[in-house]
Amino acid sequence: MNNQIIKDTVQAPIQSGFGPRTTAKEVMGNRRLDGKVIIVTGGYSGIGTETTRVLAEAGATVIVPARSVEKAKATLAGIHNIEIDELDLMNPSSIDTFAKRFISSGRPLHILINGAGIMNTPLRRDTRGYESQFSTNHLGHFQLTARLWPALIKAKGARVVAVSSYAHKGGAIDFDDPNFEHRDYDKRKAYAQSKCATVLFAVALDKRSRAQNVRAFALHPGTVPETNLGRDLKAEEIIQVKKLENGQIVMANGAPFLLKTVEEGAATPIWCAVSEQLNGMGGVYCQDCDIAEAVPADSNTLSGVWPWAIDKETAERLWKLSEKLTGVNFSI
């Protein structure tokens, strides 16, 4: 790998043959993952549960870190090839302890899916004083990936999959005040910023890690109402929409927006994790089981990736900020 010429992956669809209605099981098909070791954060909630199920049924050993081990056990009961371990992404020592346990097992890590996340929460802070959405959705996964790096290298061909969101459209990084210490807290902006950071992390990680055969991807799973991700939203904050028979909803501005099932929402994370179509690729944002289109800053589309989320200079700047805030450096 080190002797190969490595080119940037173009941020443009590759016509994968899949689409928004593809399910995770359809992506997996008859593929077997026996002998593969996979970690899925958020693997016991929402689309994470379906992601875990499909990977495990294909023969992989799936480790699910959980803030509530008992809840994870109850949710994942009956699924074979599952290991559950304790992890709190807002607690740096918990991250280190979890990673140390895994590294000490001596196993390689073939796939890391950073899927855990919180959305539009009231102002909360971790033990360091960092805003909770930035801490959970980005910084926690940054530290976790760094601590698991030796196991990713050991796999001799690994992928890191970061579950982001269409919400990155509204969230360029505020480098002067990422943790809302000096500006008024806006939970939607905080969520958008954290998901923009997730995409930028994949861009910067892939640049550093691809020479060692570790590739990184970010993705939007789609809008999946059958999850508890919006549990912190009040009833009056939920946009009233008209649901259509084809599974779309119509927003207040009249634009159609597709709703997905849990099975469909888990499809793109699975595609990014296992698809041979992505061999030799990385550092891109995906949706609907394909690489997404790069759209201009003034785009009003409901799909694609906006320029501030894939800008290489911004990704490098965020990487340095993340190292500073976490005190963690990758040994790449």
Residue numbers annotated as active site: 191
Which H/E stretch holds residue 248? Answer: strand 248-250
10 Å Cβ neighbour count for 100? Answer: 10
3-class state of residue 153 by DSSP: helix
What does the block give as tokens for 250?
A: 């119509």
Give the distance from CA 188 to its chain's centroid.
18
> How are beta strands 248-250 and 242-243 bridged, if at all?
antiparallel
Q: Where are the beta strands (DSSP E) in 148-232?
A: 158-163, 214-220
181 to 25, 171, 186, 264: CA distances (angstroms): 44, 17, 12, 38
Among the listed residues 164, 136, 189, the one whose alpha carbon sits nearest the alpha carbon of residue 292: 164
**Residue-wise over 102-128: b if at least 16 C-beta within 10 A, else e?**
bbeeeebbbbbbbbbbbbbbeebebee
Residue 321 in tokens: 């900020």
Residue 140 contacts residue 197 (beta carbons within 8 Å) = no
